[in-house]
Structure 1
Amino acid sequence: MFTIANGIILKGANLVPHRENIVVDEGKIIEIGKDSREGKIIDVEGAVVCPSFINGHIHIGDSIIKDEGYSLSLSEMVKPPNGIKHVALANASDDELIEAMKSSMWDMVHSGTTHFIDYREGGIKGVKLLKEASKDVPIKPIILGRDDSFYGEDPDLNKVKIAIRKILKIADGIAPSGFGEITMDVAEIISSECEKAGKISSIHVAESESNQIESLNEYGLSEIEKGVKTNFSQLVHLTNPKNNDLKMVCESSQNVVVCPRANATLNVGVAPLNDMLNLGLKPLLGTDNVMLNSPNMLRELEFSLKIMSVYHNDYIGPVELLKMATTNVCGFEINDVIRKSMIRENDFAEFVVFNSFSKNPYLNIINRVETKNILYTINKRFNV
């Protein structure tokens, strides 16, 4: 048992600041209060205590080719099966992949992340490799698998269904790359099988303007419309929405993940976060491909804060942005898969203690803090 004392706690789903103490026993928060003090006292006078981060979207497998292919197009970089990433993954040994993924996971741990949602290439073997890499790292991967049988203009739907069911036995969901690689039939099978299994179905949509135009020309539907109609539980990117795309997502109650740094690196635009927030959407924030960006959520937060004011000519509220890296996931319908806690009594202890440099606790984290300014990361699996 221990007490984190005299900190400014960003408490509950809305990250409301309170100067209180947190008592933790056997990995759970048992009491929060100004006079709460039991066990070992860890005095963090004036520091900011925030829920640990969740990296809402990452491709950790391409940790083996950091910064390769810079300035190439989206398709040249990441489109299966011939993108630079997929060729590198096919040619890497299991040990190389495991060590590279382990290194990236430690980078996340050291920068305050305790959970991440990974788009896992390589079918069942790929899922198992990530589980092997993560077993001794104090972080929780939420693993979304895929299989080569999904791809092509005329896939064998029986094989697709069998592959999905096999993957779902060991993974947390299914995540094909995008609608440019799969048919609507495959998309519907994925979302249906995941829903029956109570797991996540996720897909990239509207990452680039060209993807949207191709989809509209061929199907009369935007990629976001396809994602809604095929009932994926989670849509990633939404960088280039059309017409009523965002309103449609809001009405469908689907979960959204945005990746501003990756979108900027690939020169495809920046997701309109303020428009999403004004509609009532509660996005997650992700760092996307490790080949493009470090998986450091502090860097993602600062970039997102500043690019919104430039790209969309409007400031984004710091507290709403910080929720995208922390508590927004607690309201997701798929949260029984993710199981991410906020700071409140009876929740698991999953929080980070940051040095304080300013009077605004949100901007302190987003705009000031670096990895070296993390005093403690408390994780229900490990105390780091």
Structure 2
Amino acid sequence: MFTISNGIILKGQDLVPAKENIVVDDGRIIEMGKDVLEGKTIDVDGAVVCPSFINGHIHIGDSIIKDEGYGLSLSEMVKPPNGVKHKALANADDDELISAMSDSMWDMVYSGTTHFIDYREGGIKGVRLLRKASEGIPIKPIILGRDDSFYGEDPDLKQVRTAVRRLLKVADGIAPSGFGEITEDVARLIVEECSKHNKISSIHVAESESNQTESIEKSGRSEIEKGVLNGFDQLVHLTNPKNNDLELVSNSGSNAVVCPRANATLNVGVCRLNDMLNLGMKPLLGTDNVMLNSPNMLRELEFTLKLMSVYYKDYIVPSKLLQMATTNICSHDVNNIVQKTAINEGNCAEFVIFKSFSKNPYLNICNRSETKNILYIINKKCIV
């Protein structure tokens, strides 16, 4: 048992600041208050206590090819099966891949991340390699798998269903690349099987303008519309919405994930974050491909904070931005797989303690903090 004392706590899903102490016992927050003190006391002297980060979208297998292919198009870089990353993954040695993924996970831990949602290539073997790479690291990977049988204009649906069912025995869900690579029959099958097994279904949508144009020309519907109508739990990117795409998502049960730095690196556009927030959406924030970006959520937060100011010529609300990296997952914990919690009594103790630089606790984290400014990372029973 220990007490974090004298900190500014960002409490609950809305991250409301309060000057309180936190008592932790056996990995859970058992009491909070101004005067509570039990067990060992850790005096953080006015530091900011924030829920630990969840990286809402990442391709951690790309850790083996950092910065390769810079300047190529989106398709040349990441479109399966012949993108730069897919060729590299196909030729990678297992030990090399495990080592590179482990290094990236430690990078995430030291920068305050305790959970991440990964789009994992390589079928069942790919999922198992990531599980092995995460052993002994205080981080929780939520692994969404895929299989090569998903792709093509005329896939064998029996083969696809078998592949999905086998994957779901080892993965937390299924995540095909996008509607440019799969048919809607495959999409419906994936969603159906994931729902049946209480697992996550996710897909990239509207990452580029060309993706959207091609989808509308072929089917009369945007990729975002297809994602919603086919019932995917999680839609990633939404960078180039058309017409009422965002309203459609906001009225559905689908969860949005945005990756501003990756979109910028690939020259595909700026996600409409302020518009999403104005519609009442609660998106997640992700760093996307490790080949493009470091998996550091602090860098993603600062970049997003300033990019939105330039794009909209208006400010994004800092507390809403920080929620995208922390407690928004609590609002729609997809199929209860992620199990990420806010700082409340009874919840798991998963939070990061940042050195204080300013009177605004949200900007203290989003605008000022670096990895070196993290004093403690509390992850259930682990203190880093």
**TM-score using structure 1 length:** 0.99
Give the partner amino acid of 2:127: V
**1:312 positional shift:** 2.5
CA distance in 2, matches of 1:175, 1:359: 41
**1:309 positional shift:** 1.0
1:377 is aligned to 2:377: yes
Preserved contact between residue 199 and residue 335 of structure 2 (Cα < 8 Å): no
- Where does residue 222 of structure 1 map in the other structure? 222
Distance 1:288 1:208, change over 3 A: same
Preserved contact between residue 352 and residue 378 of structure 1 (Cα < 8 Å): yes
Three-state SS of the structure 2 residue aligned to 1:213 is helix
- Where does residue 42 of structure 2 map in the other structure? 42
**1:1-384 matches, cutoff 5 A:** 1-334=1-334, 336-384=336-384
Distance 1:175 1:381, change over 3 A: farther
Deviations, residues 214-273 of structure 1 (Å, cap 9, x unaligned): 000010000000101110000000000000000001111210100000000000001100
Preserved contact between residue 138 and residue 381 of structure 1 (Cα < 8 Å): no
**1:382 positional shift:** 2.4
Preserved contact between residue 209 and residue 268 of structure 2 (Cα < 8 Å): yes
CA distance in 2, matches of 1:72, 1:266: 8
Cα root mean square deviation, aligned: 0.7
Name the % identity. 76
Deviates more, 1:330-339 or 1:199-208: 330-339
CA distance in 2, matches of 1:120, 1:314: 36
Three-state SS of the structure 2 residue aligned to 1:225 is helix
Deviations, residues 51-107 of structure 1 (Å, cap 9, x unaligned): 000000000001000011111100000000000000000010000000000000000
CA distance in 1, matches of 2:270, 2:326: 21
CA distance in 1, matches of 2:123, 2:289: 18
CA distance in 1, matches of 2:331, 2:168: 23
Preserved contact between residue 7 and residue 48 of structure 1 (Cα < 8 Å): yes
CA distance in 1, matches of 2:256, 2:36: 37
Give the partner amino acid of 2:205: V
Preserved contact between residue 28 and residue 380 of structure 1 (Cα < 8 Å): yes
Three-state SS of the structure 2 residue aligned to 1:7 is strand
CA distance in 1, matches of 2:283, 2:52: 16
Deviates more, 1:311-320 or 1:226-235: 311-320
Give the partner amino acid of 1:62: D
CA distance in 2, matches of 1:381, 1:85: 36
Preserved contact between residue 333 and residue 339 of structure 2 (Cα < 8 Å): no
**1:180 positional shift:** 0.4
Three-state SS of the structure 1 residue aligned to 2:316 is coil
CA distance in 1, matches of 2:43, 2:359: 19
CA distance in 2, matches of 1:343, 1:71: 41
CA distance in 1, matches of 2:316, 2:240: 18
Deviates more, 1:328-337 or 1:10-19: 328-337
Preserved contact between residue 59 and residue 290 of structure 2 (Cα < 8 Å): yes
Give the partner amino acid of 1:285: L
Preserved contact between residue 173 and residue 194 of structure 2 (Cα < 8 Å): yes
CA distance in 2, matches of 1:383, 1:133: 20
**1:140 positional shift:** 0.1
Preserved contact between residue 329 and residue 335 of structure 1 (Cα < 8 Å): no
Three-state SS of the structure 1 residue aligned to 2:143 is strand
How many residues were matched structurally? 384
Three-state SS of the structure 1 residue aligned to 2:20 is strand
CA distance in 1, matches of 2:161, 2:333: 24
Give the partner amino acid of 1:361: P
Preserved contact between residue 30 and residue 345 of structure 1 (Cα < 8 Å): yes
Give the partner amino acid of 1:292: L
CA distance in 2, matches of 1:143, 1:303: 26
Three-state SS of the structure 1 residue aligned to 2:366 is helix
Unmatched tracts of structure 2, length 5 or more: none
**TM-score using structure 2 length:** 0.99
Give the partner amino acid of 2:38: E
Give the partner amino acid of 2:118: D
Deviations, residues 172-222 of structure 1 (Å, cap 9, x unaligned): 000000000000000000001001111100000000000000000010000
Preserved contact between residue 322 and residue 366 of structure 2 (Cα < 8 Å): yes
Deviations, residues 113-156 of structure 1 (Å, cap 9, x unaligned): 00000000000000000000001111000000000000001000
Deviates more, 1:345-354 or 1:327-336: 327-336
**1:335 positional shift:** 5.4
